[in-house]
Structure 1
Amino acid sequence: MYRTMDFIFKDVIDLSGKMLGFISDIILDFNGKKIDGFIITPNNIFKKTLNVNIENVVNFTSVIVVTAVSRGKCLQFEDIKNMDVVNERGELIGMVEDILFDREKFSIRALILSTGFINNFIKGKKVLLINDLILGDKNLLYRGKNRNLEFFNSAHKLLKKEKS
């Protein structure tokens, strides 16, 4: 699984080796539940941002090689980051912090939610499956029904082995 931080600030070059800039965000297709591409911010402050589709990416290493770029407005992860997630009763579940997506097909699997600094430290962050979420204008609606199954992202606890 990938997270957004696996791509942010990676350098992007074209096939001729020309530096285009670095990845600053991810392009989402929330209804299709997939990552469509990346936003490239040029190193030159006078140039505008570029978009690259996943189909136009040749190589995913420390440097990303692309065949073509475009311009235009699209839904970015930054548009939903820090957005509130509420349940059907209007109760706040958390805020969107990160996204998890598949390595091969770039399909979105889940969103990682922050539940507050102290809660994150004590209980861990929540992970909600993408199939249970609906994107609205101001927040995300969680319509998950299975209360017996909850995912958390927390630190591992080390247990001391007792000597017998």
Structure 2
Amino acid sequence: MYRIMDFIFKGVMNISGKQLGFISDIIVDFNARKINGFVITSNNIFKKPLNVNIKDVVNYTSVMVVTEVNREKYLQFKEIKNMNVVDKSGELIGVVEDILFDREKFSIKAVIISTGFMNNFIKGKKILLIDDLILGDRNLLYRGKNQNIKFFNSVHRFIR
């Protein structure tokens, strides 16, 4: 599984070897539950961001190599990040922090939500499955029955 931070600030170049910039965000299709591509920010501050679709990515190890870029408008993760997640009764569950997606098909599996700094530290962050979420204009609606899937912060003891 990947998280967004696995790609942010990764360098991007075209197949000719020209440096295009770095990945600054991902392109999300929330209804299809897929990551469709990446937003590339140029090293030159006067150039507008570029987009690359997943189908145009040749390699994504230490540097992403792409065949084609575009400037079309897509839904980016930054538009969903920090969005409130509410349940059916309108109770706030938390805010969107990250997305977990598949390594091979780039399909979104879950959304990681934060419930507050201290709560994250004590109880851990929550993971909500993508099938239980509906994207609205201002909020994500959680329509699942169970909120028991969580990350836990715990002290690890090394055994020698």
Q: Structures share a fold, TM > 0.5?
A: yes
Once the two structures are superposed, what CA deviation does each residue of 1:62-103 show, in whole Å capped at 9, x if it has no partner? 100000000021100000000000000000000000000000
SS class of match (2:36): strand
> Which consecutive residues of structure 1, in runs of 5 or more, have no partner in the other structure?
none
- Which residue of 1 is the match for residue 24 of structure 2? 24
Once the two structures are superposed, what CA deviation does each residue of 1:118-141 show, in whole Å capped at 9, x if it has no partner? 100000000000000000000000
CA distance in 2, matches of 1:159, 1:53: 43
Q: Report the structure number with the largest CA radius of gyration.
A: 1
After TM superposition, the runs of 4+ consecutive aligned structure 1 residues lying more than 4 A away are none
User: What is the root-mean-square deviation in Å for CA atoms of aligned residues?
Assistant: 1.4
SS class of match (1:153): coil
Q: Does 2:121 match 1:100?
A: no
**Residues 85-164 of structure 1: matches in 2 within 5 Å?**
85-145=85-145, 147=146, 150-158=148-156
Residue type matched to 1:65 in 2? V
TM-score by structure 1 length? 0.94
Residue type matched to 2:71 in 1? R
TM-score by structure 2 length? 0.96
- Which residue of 1 is the match for residue 48 of structure 2? 48
> Which consecutive residues of structure 2, in runs of 5 or more, have no partner in the other structure?
none
Go from structure 1 to structure 2 and tell me whether the alpha carbon gap of 1:139 and 1:160 turns closer, same or farther (over 3 Å shift): same
